[in-house]
Structure 1
């Protein structure tokens, strides 16, 4: 195998694939990336057995076809440090991979291709066609609420649900839940996918990263009973769907909200960041006190100090008088960073049930539910 290409293009492909390659795999071969040089060009492939990714390298000259396995993390480190704009990669008679770029020369061991699992990408079956930028935005809005603990399989994920010509996207970790809805059309002659599909969070993060570098207005995502697939001219991504049941998210949406307020998103974000400076991991709580036209955030912790931040609010509905509720500030900071709206609407039934945060005048487009913290008077003192 021998090929020449631009260093930047090769690094971009290998770097993308490294997002799939596990750091501590159950099988050592999964730490490798598969390089395939043929008449179609150069492909870089990686998998963790749940998610598979293939990236095409642009403007490559293949002098000798072939394939091999290379240590992915090591290859990324080498490519990042190369100063030359172009490079040559060749597998020598000993089986090692030689990388030449200007005055720099590296040799790294290559593994046998037959040990690597098969990674396939099917473009058949029902598919959604959605606006690319809207899908990226909604993935970002929802995934912040997904569980980050990989052992919580059905919550370390994002739910996609097809409902007619609408795609619902949901993420939760049990203490918060984010959901969005966007229009969708059939992506091919097989029609629209119907039902629920649970995608691993890693696949959603990778797909968002891939779509950011694409330039098509609309993209197609294929979904069947076991697998999700995205295929473009330069990248193919597939993942096994997560088994199990996703929480019944529609039942979690708070109803009969008696106290509703509208707040400038940027002002609330600044206030939360300031107030959170006086909290700790052991006492990660801030108190909202809402009045008719103004709200106060209060945070304090022993041996740390206290903070009191005021900001204007617009009371949309509710009885006269003040209203108070406690939240983990991290959860609210997370949602404000992705809501992409000048204002946020906050609705509460009382201080002990979930609060609903949404985009004013477009509540169905994005809703974020956060459970409050129950603080007794002694803790608050």
Structure 2
């Protein structure tokens, strides 16, 4: 194999593939990225046996001799990042891989690429077509609420429900729950069944990273034990989390007499950050008191001090105090623009708060017990 590549375009593609390769593994061969030069383009594959990627690169690639090679992740990444040459040439022989630039030469050992595990391509006849922008929002607005440390493995991923035009993503750690819904297109009557299409948190984050802003849509195919995502340049495969997801619909409050308050992200987030100054890891609760046209945020920690921040709101009803973990409210604010508006629905100090936007995003926060 002999190829020449523009270093910058290869670096970004290699970095994405390399993020899947395990840093440590009993199978040392997995600590490589396999490159295949054929048909005037380069295909990069990597896997940790749970997640895999096939990434095509044609921009800035010249194939002189077709073939395959295994590039060790750590050393190759270091070369690509530290090197200043505009173009690099990769050439294999019996002794290994030569990497050559206009002012640099490297020699790396070569392993047998035939021993590298195969990574699935996208050959599905049934799948969902989703707007790229929607899929990106679905991931960013739910993945932070998952719980990778829980003994309930199903909480360590994002649930995807794809049925007809309806597409829903859900993330929860048992103390808060985020749900994002939108519309897609089912091809070949593709759909998920039950609550078992749970994509591991790390895998769905990698999928979001692989999205190309130039692509208007992405294809998603759910199978019995895995999920495939296809963009114009990449296919990512992930095994699903074992187990069944909790009935998240039961968590969403269905109440007739709840108070709905129109809020803006920026002012609330600013007030929240101020109130949180006197909190610590042990004392994370902030009292949200709604009364007399004001939202009052109060925090108190014995060794640190007290805070009280007021925010004008359109509410003049009975006083309601709800204690919430400030980190959970902050997470909601972080995934929205400061100018975004939302509805905060409250009922009592013992009932969960529901925060929702008009573009299909809903977020439930369970109340904390008040210390005072």
Same fold (TM over 0.5): yes
How far apart in 2 are the matches of 1:155 and 1:109?
41
CA gap of 1:320–1:129, structure 2 versus 1, over 3 A, is same
Alignment of 1:98-247 (within 5 A): 98-149=98-149, 152-186=152-186, 188=187, 190-195=188-193, 196=195, 197-211=197-211, 213-247=212-246
The answer to whether structure 1 residue 334 and structure 2 residue 334 are counterparts is no
Between 42-51 and 218-227, report the one with greater CA deviation: 218-227
Asked whether the 8 Å contact 1:22–1:31 carries over to 2, the reply is yes
Aligned match of 1:66? 67
Asked whether the 8 Å contact 1:3–1:63 carries over to 2, the reply is yes
Asked whether the 8 Å contact 2:95–2:110 carries over to 1, the reply is no
TM-fit CA distance, 1:229: 1.4
How far apart in 2 are the matches of 1:94 and 1:300?
66
How far apart in 2 are the matches of 1:274 and 1:78?
45
TM-fit CA distance, 1:217: 2.0
Count of paired positions? 367
CA gap of 1:59–1:92, structure 2 versus 1, over 3 A, is same
Q: Deviations over 1:194-223 (max 9, x none)?
A: 424211222211121122x24132222122
Q: Deviations over 1:254-304 (max 9, x none)?
A: 222533322221111111112212111111221111113111111222222
Between 159-168 and 340-349, report the one with greater CA deviation: 340-349
CA gap of 1:289–1:216, structure 2 versus 1, over 3 A, is same
CA gap of 1:299–1:108, structure 2 versus 1, over 3 A, is farther
How far apart in 2 are the matches of 1:89 and 1:299?
60
How far apart in 2 are the matches of 1:92 and 1:277?
61
Asked whether the 8 Å contact 2:40–2:63 carries over to 1, the reply is no
Aligned match of 1:371? 366
How far apart in 1 are the matches of 2:45 and 2:332?
34
Q: Deviations over 1:199-256 (max 9, x none)?
A: 1222211121122x24132222122222221223321111122221011100111222
Aligned match of 2:254? 255
Asked whether the 8 Å contact 2:192–2:222 carries over to 1, the reply is no
TM-fit CA distance, 1:307: 1.8
TM-fit CA distance, 1:152: 4.7
How far apart in 2 are the matches of 1:43 and 1:232?
14
- 3-state SS, counterpart of residue 154 of structure 2: coil
For the aligned residues, what is the CA RMSD?
2.0
How far apart in 2 are the matches of 1:24 and 1:300?
44
Structure 1: unaligned runs, 5 residues or longer: none
The answer to whether structure 1 residue 82 and structure 2 residue 79 are counterparts is no
How far apart in 1 are the matches of 2:87 and 2:304?
54
Asked whether the 8 Å contact 1:263–1:312 carries over to 2, the reply is no
Aligned match of 1:30? 30
Aligned match of 1:9? 9
